[in-house]
């Protein structure tokens, strides 16, 4: 009886612990069944690091088409390589260790998403859902399989946000110069990891402007300007380097050549039903939404397979239009998962609308307003990237670019729906149905993200 009472009291932490242990096993196991060179720009990320290690300088644009990427992740990875090789590890072993590091960072991203949810809402059930959704989301598991700056950046972002709300910085009563200095330094680190960090900076500046106007606290506007100037000053050496290297400092992609014609607007206003039959490249490419949803829940670009699995040796594979292969077993699993994920997409859209309505009713005084601004900013940045660089075959539309968007969308949408039904008579039945659906979705996701041997 004592054991039962203990489990009842601590059921949620125990469930979270079991889930994270299982997820850790899957993430780490995947590292041993995936070659980092197979992934999005996989070899280029690795060569960026090894240029620093072997040549002692950042790569030039002639050496690496990712040379315009902010260097902090690659410098830190290079330092890790130096230490590991110094103590006697081979380069092949070091590569696996770097991939192992990606898996750990991926887990930290998942945990950080849950911590952010709990710090903001104090709701264990909602936080558990955010952890489950984020951890089992295909694109998150995929980014944790190979060496890339993406996962490192997004893990830092969710923990920065968790710290922001832990310090209650959504309320000026909690403001002080020490906290703001630490947060600004954090933003300074982020902008040296990935250009997308400026979306975080601008979201914070916009939120501060809205908050200050609503509160009639004009010092907040000064603070917003100070943050922008300080982060810009920290980032300015990289702008100088880009200008000297590429002839221009202000560009979101120094490798792709801008076209005079942008992606037509109809691409962003349609849904391509072909994606329902075969959610892989190049189906659904007539719609931003079709490609975005597919690349979120499954391996749309066919780059996260284990090409050395038994299925490939048996020849049970199909070739997609981009020349890559998928095992028939993988196609089946991912297609079923994609279909079963569509209700979740509709739930998020509905919850997002509810969040917007609740935000307007509160006269923009909800403490999660910054998260909504940031989520919209991240999504808009992906839309802009595709509109500006309409090279779909070269992967300018990748959900992996905005990983932080997904836990934020889960937190805000499902949290808003939870608020809405709190007074409903049959809310318990709705919760049961919701968790039954989540359980089945979780099972399908788990068997899909686990790479075959």
242 in Cβ contact with 68 (< 8 Å): yes
pLDDT in tens, 297-322: 999 999 999 999 988 988 899 998 88
Q: What is the pLDDT of residues 33-42, one digit of tens each?
A: 999 999 999 9
Q: How many angstroms separate the Cα of 387 from the Cα of each of 13, 14, 374, 396, 400?
A: 44, 45, 20, 9, 17
pLDDT band at residue 13 using 50, 70 and 90 as cut-offs:
confident
Q: Does 4 or 317 have the greater pLDDT score? A: 317
- Cβ-proximal residues to 51 (8 Å cutoff; 6+ apart), any chain: 57, 58, 59, 63, 64
On average, the pLDDT of the chain sits at 94
DSSP string, 242-283: HHHHHS-S--S-SSSPPPSSPPPGGGGS---THHHH--STTT
pLDDT of residue 423: 85
- For residue 336, what pLDDT is reported? 97
Give the pLDDT of residue 194: 97
C-alpha span between 284 and 278 (Å, rounded) = 9
Upstream peptide bond of 390 is cis (omega within 30 degrees of 0): no
State pLDDT tens for residues 206-220: 999 999 999 999 999
DSSP 188-209: HHHHTT-TTHHHHHHHHHHHHH
For residue 1, pLDDT beyond 60: no
Residues 194, 64: Cα–Cα separation, whole Å = 17
* Percent of the chain scoring above 70 in pLDDT: 97
Show the CA angle centred on residue 72, arms to residues 153 and 92, nearest 5°. Answer: 90
Report residue 3's pLDDT band, with 50, 70 and 90 as the boundaries: low
pLDDT of residue 12: 85
pLDDT digits 0-9 by tens, 219-241: 999 999 999 999 999 999 999 99
Which residues lie closer than 8 Å to 76 by C-beta, 6 or more apart? none
Q: Each residue of 52-77: pLDDT tens digit?
A: 999 999 999 889 999 999 999 999 99
Q: What is the mean pLDDT of residues 386-401?
A: 92
**Cα 443 from Cα 431, distance rounded (Å):** 18
User: Quick check: 139 and 296 in contact, CB under 8 A?
Assistant: yes
Residue 322: its pLDDT value, please?
85
Sign of the CA dihedral 115, 117, 123, 125? negative
User: Which range is least confidently modeled, 107-111, 135-139, 216-220, 258-262?
Assistant: 258-262
Query: Phi and psi at residue 325, in whole multiples of 5°?
Result: -110, 150
Residue found by looking up tokens 């072909």 in the block: 274
Q: Which structure tokens are listed for 425?
A: 């008579």
- pLDDT at residue 170 is higher than 60: yes
- Give me the pLDDT at residue 320, please: 87
**Of 146 and 5, more confident:** 146
Instruction: Give the mean pLDDT of 130-146.
Output: 98
> Which residues make Cβ contacts (< 8 Å) with residue 180, sequence separation at least 6?
169, 223, 227
Alpha carbon separation from 437 to 45, 266, 341, 443, 444 (Å, rounded): 38, 33, 10, 10, 11
Taking the CA atoms of residue 292, residue 294, residue 298 and residue 299 in that order, the dihedral angle to the nearest 10 degrees is -80
pTM of the predicted structure, to 2 decimals:
0.96
What is the average per-residue pLDDT within 186-212? 97
Residue 287 backbone dihedrals phi, psi, to 5 degrees = -145, 130
Partnered with residue 318 across adjacent β-strands are 326
Q: What is the structure's pLDDT at 250?
A: 80
pLDDT per residue as tens digits for the range 247-298: 887 877 777 766 668 999 999 999 999 999 999 999 999 999 999 999 999 9
**What is the percent of the chain where pLDDT is above 90?**
85
pLDDT at 260: 67
| pLDDT: which is higher, 44 or 250 | 44
How far is residue 66's CA from residue 106's CA, in Å, rounded to a whole number? 22
Instruction: Tell me what pLDDT residue 84 has.
Output: 96
- Whether 5 has a pLDDT exceeding 70, the answer reads no
Angle at 306 between CA 438 and CA 134, to 5 degrees: 25
Rounded Cα–Cα distance for residues 38 and 45 (Å): 11
Cα–chain-centroid distance for residue 326? 24
Asked whether residue 343 carries a pLDDT value surpassing 90, the answer given is: yes
Element (DSSP H or E) covering residue 326: strand 325-327
The pLDDT of residue 160: 98
pLDDT of residue 18: 95
């Amino acid at each position: 009886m004592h054991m039962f009472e203990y489990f009842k009291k601590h059921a949620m932490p125990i469930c979270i612990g079991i889930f994270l242990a299982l997820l850790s096993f899957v993430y780490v196991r995947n590292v041993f069944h995936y070659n980092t060179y197979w992934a999005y720009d996989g070899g280029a990320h690795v060569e960026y690091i090894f240029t620093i290690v072997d040549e002692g300088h950042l790569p030039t644009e002639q050496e690496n088409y990712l040379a315009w990427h902010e260097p902090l992740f690659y410098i830190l990875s290079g330092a890790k390589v130096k230490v590991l090789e110094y103590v006697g590890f081979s380069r092949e072993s070091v590569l696996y260790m770097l991939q192992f590091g990606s898996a750990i960072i991926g887990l930290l991203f998942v945990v950080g998403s849950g911590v952010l949810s709990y710090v903001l809402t104090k709701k264990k059930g909602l936080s558990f859902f955010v952890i489950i959704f984020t951890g089992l989301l295909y694109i998150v598991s995929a980014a944790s399989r190979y060496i890339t700056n993406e996962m490192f950046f997004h893990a830092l972002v969710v923990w920065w946000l968790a710290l922001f709300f832990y310090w209650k910085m959504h309320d000026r009563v909690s403001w002080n110069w020490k906290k703001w200095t630490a947060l600004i330094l954090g933003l300074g680190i982020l902008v040296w990891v990935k250009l997308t960090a400026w979306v975080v900076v601008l979201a914070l500046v916009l939120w501060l402007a809205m908050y200050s106007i609503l509160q009639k606290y004009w010092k907040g506007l000064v603070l917003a300007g100070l943050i922008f100037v300080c982060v810009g000053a920290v980032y300015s050496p990289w702008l100088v380097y880009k200008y000297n290297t590429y002839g221009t400092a202000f560009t979101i992609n120094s490798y792709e050549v801008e076209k005079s014609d942008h992606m037509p607007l109809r691409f962003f206003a349609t849904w391509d039903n072909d994606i329902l039959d075969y959610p892989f490249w190049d189906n659904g490419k007539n719609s931003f939404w079709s490609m975005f949803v597919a690349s979120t829940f499954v391996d749309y670009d066919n780059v996260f397979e284990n090409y050395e699995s038994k299925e490939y040796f048996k020849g049970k594979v199909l070739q997609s239009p981009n020349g890559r292969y998928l095992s028939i077993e993988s196609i089946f699993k991912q297609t079923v998962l994609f279909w079963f994920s569509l209700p979740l997409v509709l739930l998020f859209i509905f919850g997002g609308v509810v969040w917007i309505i609740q935000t307007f009713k509160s006269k923009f005084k909800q403490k999660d307003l910054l998260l909504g601004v940031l989520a919209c900013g991240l999504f808009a940045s992906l839309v802009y990237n595709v509109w500006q660089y309409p090279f779909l075959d070269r992967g300018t539309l990748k959900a992996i670019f905005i990983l932080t968007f997904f836990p934020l969308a889960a937190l805000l949408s499902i949290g808003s729906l939870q608020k809405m039904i709190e007074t409903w008579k049959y809310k318990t039945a709705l919760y049961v149905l919701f968790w039954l659906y989540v359980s089945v979705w979780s099972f399908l996701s788990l068997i899909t993200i686990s790479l075959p041997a």
